[in-house]
Amino acid sequence: MFEKLAAIEKRFDDLSGKMSDPKIIALQNEFQKYAREHSELVDIVKEYRDWKKNNQELEENRALLEEESDPEMKDLARQEIETLTEQTEKNEQELKKLLLPRDPRDEKSVIMEIRAGTGGDEAGLFAADLYRMYSRYAERQKWKVEIMTSNPTGVGGFKEVVLNIRGKAVYSKLKYEAGTHRVQRVPTTETQGRIHTSAVTVAILPEVEDVEININPVDLKIDVFRASGPGGQSVNTTDSAVRITHVPSGLVVSCQDEKSQHKNKERGMKVLRARLYDEEQRKQQEVLAADRRQQVGTGDRSERIRTYNFPQERISDHRIGFTMHKLSQAMEGELDDMVEALILHYQAEALKNQKN
């Protein structure tokens, strides 16, 4: 491990030199490429340098303990050794996490699809609640949220809402949100105070560029139609809504939120690319079945991952046995504790698998 870390530190220093070279600075594409790689290595190099410093001080204190005859100085050396041993162990554990193979999708923005499942109007209302929860969380992370397409219900909910969430490392924090979210609460329409259980599915698709997935235009069937709102109310009077069918896969994407047919088509193609990329990833994961069993949050729509219990103010993630009694805060976007718990759990699982 430490040979690898020494090589990483050398590469980091080489990149620092390149980034200060006026010839490289003048070539923006080159400079940005080196800057991205440099930023990816910053945390590893900092932790490695902290480990080297602590390890050197540890060796010096051990030598002092051997050579020193003064009892008081020996006690001080022992205390330092204890503290530094603990610190170097923390450094090593953190370095192991930082050296874990990175998911190349972690830095990507995402397409988030929220769909009402079982539960009728109540499921639609909870889909709207999840839309607001993730939007608030995105605001806290300084990400940008754009509705790509939506299918509202007549009572203020959503049958479906598709979001584009853009920012730094969005996928790394939201990838574990994929799955079935269950809600237990008394619906606003319930007159006898009975608790109902409803479900909403969330899919997290990494946003992909045109070059990452090739779509042959001849494989597309594109229809245009007049957009309409809940209850058939006309949204506009032109055929601006777009339905794109990818014939080989059978995937269908509809977009009608924009008044421009061109913009609706552009949004639809972005969602289609993300879905096709996700399908390709699924096929690869099926080939690597043993690895897939170790993964969570792959977007399996049938997997119940979390329960939101409103009467008990409780939110529980069933995959890792994590519970928070702060449901109201979570629904306002305060998801850091949940997200952090998921990341730490799966880092620990990956470390365990690495040892095996």
**Region(s) of the chain under CATH 1.20.58:** 2-98
pLDDT of residue 72: 86
**Region(s) of the chain under CATH 3.30.70.1660:** 110-349
When pLDDT is cut at 50, 70 and 90, the band that residue 254 belongs to is confident
CA distance 312 to 183: 12
Report the pLDDT averaged over residues 171-187.
92
For the cut 70, the answer to whether the pLDDT of residue 237 exceeds it is no
Q: Pick the residue with more confidence: 283 or 108?
A: 108
CA distance 134 to 128: 10
Percentage of the chain modeled with pLDDT above 70 = 88
pTM of structure = 0.65
Beta carbons within 8 Å of 232's beta carbon, 6+ residues apart: none
The tens digit of pLDDT for each residue in 294-320 reads: 333 333 334 689 999 999 999 999 999
Top CATH class, 2-98? mainly alpha
221, 245 contact by CB (below 8 A)? yes
Top CATH class, 110-349? alpha beta
Query: For residue 78, what is the DSSP state?
Result: H
Q: Pick the residue with more confidence: 288 or 70?
A: 70
CA distance 349 to 261: 47
Q: Pick the residue with more confidence: 281 or 233?
A: 281
CA distance 20 to 16: 6
What b/e string do you get for 168-201 counting C-beta neighbours within 10 Å, with b at 16 or more?
eebbbbbbbbbbbbbbebebeeeeeeeeeebbbb
Report the pLDDT averaged over residues 329-339.
95
The burial class, CB within 10 Å (0-12 / 13-18 / 19+), for 290 is exposed
Choose from 155-159, 226-230, 283-287 the range with maximum mean pLDDT.
155-159
The tens digit of pLDDT for each residue in 81-134 reads: 999 999 998 888 888 777 777 777 888 899 999 999 988 889 999 999 999 999
pLDDT of residue 139: 96
Tell me the three state secondary structure of residue 180.
strand
For the cut 70, the answer to whether the pLDDT of residue 191 exceeds it is no
Q: Which amino acid is at 108?
A: K
pLDDT of residue 160: 92
- Average pLDDT score, the chain: 84
